[in-house]
Structure 1
């Protein structure tokens, strides 16, 4: 863990940071990742991209998830793309194991990982102090039955007694979260607050965030949606449909196209709905990433984007942001409330 190693402070100034690129969909994260890897290569440093988009891990889900192009993959090696079948289940906990193994392998071989993806919890799970306690369906069912019979207030009062720290950061009117917290306490024997996500790196990292004016982001999303359908998105969904598991079917756009194939909407309506839901997702992503004080935000339209990104990466390698990183979790707890 960070802070337990007496040599950690020395390594912070000598070990190249993992670079994590975050931001809303269609903001240009993959392009920036490729550009940074190429810039690093120019000065003799190897870097490769690790995917942190949940749905890009599925084989065959190419057009609808806007995977890196063949040219981008040829320019810089990409990892954790096309690693599971569409009928498999992907969870954040499973991704965390896969991502950390991949990152450790790259770093052992002297390659700097560049983490790229719009799935906020996935990106954080790779690099932050986040644990994922197991579940017990029987315990959960019993707690849900109690919530229905006794009322959510009774369960929340129990949570306040068992784990006041968690209760102080939770909405008492959200029975699902109260049930989950009590389930974790019973299954693990530890406070639920001990498993809440922390804004604390377990892998030395620097995060770059891409920001765009809303009108430009909406324009890009509209163009991307048109391109997806022009490139054969409907045919992709038609071919995948018999093999889509519950998790993969949740990917944005796929259910909407299935509805079109079932005659529940026409093509224009489907395109419009996919674009609108993508814009809504982009807003949610910005809200998610906006909570993290460690992210260095860059304007995606800035002509000096790559230069500025490299300056931040170099500063991070020198330990220039260590003070911000070390106090981020405390800042979020005191100023932004719920860590989940």
Structure 2
């Protein structure tokens, strides 16, 4: 049986460590990275950003993914953005190998790699590797999709609770993508996903929660989650006024795209797709999108707070945000 594999990077001896900027959605990771890039130029250094975001890999998903603008991408080299069509699938293992190779290539050019993003499964794969979970099975996945549409995903989540209560407990009942994957893994292997992950050294709650010595992790974590929610609401309304609905209309015009694809399941896109399909009205779309975005931020923060040794800064506190920039500047000086 083929498995999705990832080779642990041989970067432990690299000095200085690679800077990685993480945080929940809407915390200002891109802004910090761009400020750092501007500083780098002032000291004669060049940084290249590696996106650690599962939505930014897709072409055509621009507004709803808060993709760096064309000006930002022209100002600083960005990697792993617009590399796939929305019909394609990108994995955590693929990201880990791509990021490893890019870090090596960037340093070979004499530049400084910085990894930026909030897709924490990508982080885990890059930092610690992945257990040998089976690849997707098209036949099983199609059958589960059909069952999910007929029964509803809360009912599928209840089925998962019977065979893998540990995984089910950490998933939202309507998280169709992850519920489906957990059920698929159980059908293929006969074992709960939680058991397979527990058998992996990188998932034992000790090694997996630490930061490898070859990574310097900077985490933007709001102390007041209400401020993050206000920012997320303002940002989503800006996306709507900037043409998010029209962007999804263009995606819907492609007959190869459908709501079960990972790209279309992205937060915001799924809800607008449902609105354009006539399944919900405008107010419901906005409410569901904001709720899903807040849930995403909560999951990201929960994951981040389990990582020991990270350097945390509150992005909504001007003093701490400046401290985060100063800290990152120091890492650039060491890298130079």
TM-score over 0.5 for the pair: yes
Q: Which residue of structure 1 aligns with residue 75 of structure 2? A: 75
Question: Residue 312 of structure 1: CA displacement?
Answer: 5.7
- Superposed, 1:1-340 pairs within 5 Å as 8=13, 11=14, 15-126=15-126, 128-135=127-134, 171=166, 179=186, 192-194=199-201, 196=203, 198-199=208-209, 204-212=214-222, 213-241=224-252, 242=254, 243-244=256-257, 246-304=261-319, 305-311=321-327, 314=330
**Structure 1 runs not aligned, ≥5 long:** 142-151, 157-169, 186-190, 320-340
Q: Distance in 2 between matches of 1:101 and 1:181?
A: 31
Change (3 A) 1:29 1:312: closer
Aligned length: 286
Q: Distance in 2 between matches of 1:98 and 1:70?
A: 22
Question: Residue 287 of structure 1: CA displacement?
Answer: 0.4
After superposition, the CA RMSD in angstroms is: 3.8
Q: Distance in 2 between matches of 1:4 and 1:263?
A: 51
The superposition leaves residues 252-293 of structure 1 with CA deviations (integer Å, 9 ceiling, x where unpaired) of 122211211121222122112211211111111100111001
Q: Distance in 2 between matches of 1:207 and 1:294?
A: 8
Change (3 A) 1:216 1:240: same
Change (3 A) 1:205 1:181: farther
Question: Residue 205 of structure 1: CA displacement?
Answer: 1.5
Where 1:209 maps in the other structure, the secondary structure is strand
Question: Residue 42 of structure 1: CA displacement?
Answer: 1.9
Q: Distance in 1 between matches of 2:136 and 2:9?
A: 36
CA contact (8 A) 1:32 1:306 kept: no
CA contact (8 A) 1:19 1:113 kept: yes
Q: Distance in 2 between matches of 1:76 and 1:308?
A: 20
Q: Radius of gyration: which is bigger?
A: 1
The superposition leaves residues 126-169 of structure 1 with CA deviations (integer Å, 9 ceiling, x where unpaired) of 2x12134252779xx8xxxxxxxxxx9xx99xxxxxxxxxxxxx
Deviates more, 1:229-238 or 1:304-313: 304-313
Q: Distance in 2 between matches of 1:3 and 1:239?
A: 39
Change (3 A) 1:318 1:62: closer
**Structure 2 runs not aligned, ≥5 long:** 1-6, 141-159, 170-181, 193-197
Change (3 A) 1:181 1:45: farther
Q: Which residue of structure 1 aligns with residue 155 of structure 2? A: none
Change (3 A) 1:83 1:219: same
CA contact (8 A) 1:210 1:298 kept: yes
Q: Distance in 1 between matches of 2:57 and 2:131?
A: 20
Q: Distance in 2 between matches of 1:26 and 1:132?
A: 30
CA contact (8 A) 1:184 1:192 kept: no
TM-score of the superposed pair, with normalisation by structure 1: 0.72
Q: Distance in 2 between matches of 1:298 and 1:231?
A: 30
Change (3 A) 1:136 1:275: closer
Change (3 A) 1:124 1:239: same
